[in-house]
Amino acid sequence: MVKKLLKNPAFVIGFMFLFGMFAGSIIYYAGWGDVVPEIEMMKDEEGKLFRGPYSPLQFPPLGTDNFDRNVLLVILVGAKYTIGAGLIITFFRVVPSVAMGLILHFYMKPFKRIIDHIVDATNYFPPTLLAFLLLNWMMLEGPLMNPDSYHYVFSDKLLFYVIILVLISIPSLTLLFSHEYYKIMKHEFIDTAKVLGATKRHFIWNHIRPFIVPQILLVCIREFMIVMLLIAHLGVLNIYIGGSSLETDVFNNRVFVSLSNEWSGLLGGWWEFLWTTFPWISFIPVMFFTMTIISAKLMLIGATRVLTDLEKEAPYRVDLEESLYEDKELFEMVRK
């Protein structure tokens, strides 16, 4: 499967963009320690100094921001925090949900319908609003309203941010995997295995695992896209990864600045420039969020095509498994 994924152009293109941005950010951190130097004032055609922000035409390729920083370097510095947070949140959303889905399917069947209705009802509440309500004090109101009694550092706020974004999605993902297990257990060879005395451990390892592992890959990619959208939405609400601080820019305005230069902080901090003479600044984080989500979408398309090709062979694998059971004597299977 891995070899086929690496031969799929859509998957490779999407993967290379995400890996390139993340690896480039790590390399910059190793070489320059995330320091983004301020750009010196430029001169116009008459030789007079004029103040930034400078447009991409004046300072290629992406111009400067309201702190006289090279926007390209700011984006590069924030890439590892944005993509890294998305990957970590996705991992801790999916992996526990896989295990909890098994528990729900095999050991909590009497409660499954009740849990299903409760989770479906909560899905109508917007996740962005729920995350904002849970994160608002920790990320925004706490350090602003009560700075003397607020003792949380960057790592504390980052951990809290990740935990909240993980927890709000686990119930729905648990139900998703539980439904997938239910579909798998409806195959005919499962009934044969039950008659022959197969245990739950045998079902999980030998029957569910081969079917669910490819699906986990697709769910991970979809969840990554959802997480990136959620991070972007929270950025517009001034909820940044790791928190923010109030700084004075070149216009002597007090603005929220992300502590890590991650992209949601740039989106929230630069959004107001959309209605000024520097509108390009607002579109840059939007562009990189869009390219990241498109890259993940390409990976999803490629992975789906590969899995579709593999599923064409599935009937032969199922027939083979059924034939293996048919070749065994009943007492031999029970003894094993």
Question: pLDDT band at 324, cuts 50/70/90?
Answer: very low
Q: What is the domain range of residue 150?
A: 1-323
For the chain, the domain total comes to: 1
Residue 300 lies in a domain: yes
CATH of the domain at 62: 1.10.3720.10
Q: What is the pLDDT of residues 235-279, one digit of tens each?
A: 999 999 988 888 888 888 888 899 899 999 999 999 888 888 889
pTM, entire model? 0.88
Q: For the beta carbon of residue 217, count every other beta carbon within 10 angstroms.
A: 18
* pLDDT for 185 beyond 80: yes
Residue 298 lies in a domain: yes
Q: What is the pLDDT of residues 11-53, one digit of tens each?
A: 999 999 999 999 999 999 999 988 998 888 888 777 788 887 8
Residue 180 lies in a domain: yes
Q: How far apart are CA 35 and CA 22, in angstroms?
A: 17
Residue 218 lies in a domain: yes
Segment 139-146 shows an average pLDDT of 77
Residue 20 lies in a domain: yes
Residue 333 lies in a domain: no
Q: Is the dihedral of CA 102, 106, 110, 113 positive or negative?
A: positive
Question: pLDDT band at 332, cuts 50/70/90?
Answer: very low
Residue 14 lies in a domain: yes
* pLDDT for 321 beyond 50: no
Q: For the beta carbon of residue 16, count every other beta carbon within 10 angstroms.
A: 12
Residue 330 lies in a domain: no
Residue 251 in tokens: 């216009």
